[in-house]
Amino acid sequence: MPGSSRPVYFATSNRGKIQEARIVLSPYGIEAVPFDGKGVEIQAETVSEVAAFSARAASRIYDRPLIVEDAGLFVEALGGFPGPSSSYVYKTLGIRGVLALLEGARSRRARFRSAVAFCEPTGEPRVFEGEVTGRISKSASGENGFGFDPVFIPSGGRRSMGALTLEEKCAISHRGESMRKFASWYTGPEAGQRF
């Protein structure tokens, strides 16, 4: 129906992720409904594994279809660290700690990866991935975004993710890409089977 939106529960307590999801999903007629019921978060090698496990657990526990998004910063000179543990590393070491680990590093190349997992209570997760490449700056800049955004400069850019507007960030970010892939599938030909 024109003008109507299709809701999807987004299991997260991160308000920044909700804001970004709303910007990205709105043009597809999808409303991201915050739901503070994320499933168990496991330790894994990839953000896709973490998102899929959490989505499966949460959809079964709360008996509803939903999405979970997991993301990580993968720094080349640190062997991909902090990767899927980025949230924990941000809370414990913080931006300063990661910058200290990179002191004297020849390469500051890095990438942000995102995985959006959709799952229904009786189904298996469907995962959509996104990635943005860039580099780690020598100091933080910008008041926008969250996590490691203030030290990540996307390839071809001069400003950190933290210095971009939310709309600018969503247009190029890892989360924007994974959310758009999810939205295309969610509103695509298979959609009629779910609604």
DSSP 159: S
Tens of pLDDT along the chain (195 residues) come to 445 689 999 999 889 999 999 999 999 999 999 988 766 677 778 999 999 999 999 999 999 999 999 999 999 999 999 999 999 999 999 999 999 999 999 999 999 999 999 999 999 999 999 999 999 999 999 988 889 999 999 999 999 999 999 999 999 999 999 999 999 999 987 654 554
Q: How many helices (H) and strands (E) does the chain have?
A: 7, 7
* β-pair partners for 106: none
Decide if 113 contacts 72 (C-beta within 8 A).
yes
Domain architecture of the chain: domains with CATH = 6-194 (3.90.950.10)
Distance (Å, rounded) from C-alpha 136 to C-alpha 114? Answer: 17
Assess whether 149 carries a catalytic annotation.
no
Distance (Å, rounded) from C-alpha 88 to C-alpha 102? Answer: 18
Predicted pLDDT at 112 = 97
Q: Which of 36, 63, 70, 149 is catalytic?
A: 70
Decide if 39 contacts 10 (C-beta within 8 A).
no
Decide if 116 contacts 173 (C-beta within 8 A).
no
Distance (Å, rounded) from C-alpha 16 to C-alpha 30? Answer: 17
Predicted pLDDT at 5 = 80
Predicted pLDDT at 24 = 97
Task: Tell me the residue type at 110.
Answer: A
What is the rounded (10 degree) CA torsion for 125, 48, 150, 135? -140
* β-pair partners for 109: 135
Question: What interhelical angle do 15-25 and 174-186 show, nearest 10?
Answer: 50
